[in-house]
Each structure stands twice: as structure tokens, then as C-alpha cells.
Structure 1
Amino acid sequence: MMRGNSEPQSSYSDDAVINYLAEHLPNWYFENGWIRRKYKTHSWKGTLMVANTVAHLAEAAFHHPDMALSYAFVIVKLKNHEAKGITDKDFALASKIEQVIMWQPGLEDSSSLPGTPKDPRFAYLKYDNKTSC
């Protein structure tokens, strides 16, 4: 699809969404017509960092999720309102959000970036054990 194309996209069946998430985004789930992800944080500071990161990515993509914020978590919900379901836009943005939020450079052998120190004073996100993207 061309950049800036405003043609409506067709939505996927519920089964296709569930299968896609299981294969490509295992930390995301499908519920009540939305794909969702709960990011656990250590504090309000971490919650705001995650929410602002998601907001930046959504604005850059011009595809906007619903979000619920609390002291120790952020819930991201995506669906395409125009298509009345889940489309490629939702999967693409969910993948980018997951890639950026869960990035841990200190765990990459080839990275010259040290990553967040293991000291709990610096922890802001509770990383999941599942691998995605």
C-alpha cells in the first residue's frame, strides 16, 4: 500500500487475528474486537515513559490506539474503526510498539549500548519472557 493511501482496508476474521498474534505477537491478545497488550511497569514514571513512546509511534504512523494508564501498567488497544475490525495497520503498529518498548540493548551481544542497569532504582518496565517480533 502506498504511503498516505486513505483507501479502506479489509479486516481479518477473528480466527485469522488469533492465529497471527500467536505466531507474530505472542504477548498480545484479541478481546472484544481489539488486539491488546498490557505492559507492566515499576512506577508512574515507567507508565508515562511507555505511554509517551506508544503515543509517538502512533502519531508517526497516524494510527491511534486507545490506552488505559495506571500506576503499574499501560494497556494498549488497537483496531481500525473505519474497517470495523483488525487490519494490517493494527498488526504493523503493534509490531513496532512491541519492538521499541521491549528493546533491551544490553542483552544484544553486538550492541555497544549497555542497556538499563540491573539496579532496581533504574527499572521502569517489567519485561516479559515471551519473545515476539
Structure 2
Amino acid sequence: MKKLSDTEIDDQLKSLDGWTYAKGAIHTSFEFENFKEAFTVMTRIAFEAEAQEHHPNWGNVYNQLEISLSTHDANGVTEKDFKLARTIEEIIESTN
């Protein structure tokens, strides 16, 4: 998988609200009503990540979820990261 240039990353980020690029990864965070809601979304993301064979770096504290995506084999951001980011956005939108 080809590592994307900073320009390519910036262009793709325009279609993802709330995502940023820093330190070789794309990042976002979400806040939920409670831990149960956050964990439910994390579980849905986990199944999709496994299906795509691409796993996020993430952290959860109570109702907060922070996600970072990068492709370790490419040492940066690739199309694979944006595919998973779009899937994550679809999951979040379906819970609202």
C-alpha cells in the first residue's frame, strides 16, 4: 500500500469532519452519552476493522473515544486508513 503525500491526505480529510493529520496518522475523537454507548460503538468498529484487516490505535475513558489511524507497513497514512475512517464515520452516523 502506497503512503499518501501530505497534499493527498489534506485533500481526503476535507470529506471527513473532525479528523486531523499529525505525527504520521489521522486522528479523531468522539464523546458519547455514557460508557455503554462508547463501548457499543467500539465493538462495531472492531468488527469492521477486523473485516478490513486494519486496526485502529485507540483509547477509551468512560464516554470518550480517541482514534488514530496509520498503516504501519507503509510508515504513514494510506488509502486503507481513509477507508476505515469512512467506515467509522458511517457507524457513528448510524448511531445518531
Q: CA deviation at 1:19?
A: 2.2
Q: CA deviation at 1:15?
A: 2.7
State the superposition RMSD in angstroms.
1.3
1:82 aligns with 2:70: no
Kept after mapping to 1: 8 A contact 2:24/2:77: yes
SS at match of 2:60: strand
Measure the CA separation in 2 of the matches of 1:66 and 1:21: 18
Measure the CA separation in 1 of the matches of 2:60 and 2:38: 7
Kept after mapping to 2: 8 A contact 1:50/1:74: no
Identity over aligned pairs, percent: 31
Kept after mapping to 2: 8 A contact 1:11/1:84: yes
Q: CA deviation at 1:66?
A: 0.7
Q: How many residues align?
A: 96
Stretches of structure 2 lacking an aligned partner (at least 5 in a row)? none
Paired residue for 2:84, among 93, 102, 119?
93
User: TM-score normalized by structure 1?
Assistant: 0.67
Q: Which amino acid aligns with 2:8?
A: A
Give the number of the structure with larger relative contact order, counting CA–CA contacts within 8 Å between residues 6 or more apart. 2
Alignment deviations for residues 53-92 of structure 1 (CA, whole Å, 9 cap, x no partner): 1111101111011111011211111100000111111111
Larger radius of gyration: 1
Alignment deviations for residues 93-128 of structure 1 (CA, whole Å, 9 cap, x no partner): 110111122125xxxxxxxxxxxxxxxxxxxxxx6x
Which one has the bigger helix percentage?
2
Kept after mapping to 2: 8 A contact 1:47/1:73: yes
Q: Which amino acid aligns with 1:97?
A: I
Measure the CA separation in 1 of the matches of 2:28 and 2:51: 19
Stretches of structure 1 lacking an aligned partner (at least 5 in a row)? 1-8, 105-126, 128-133
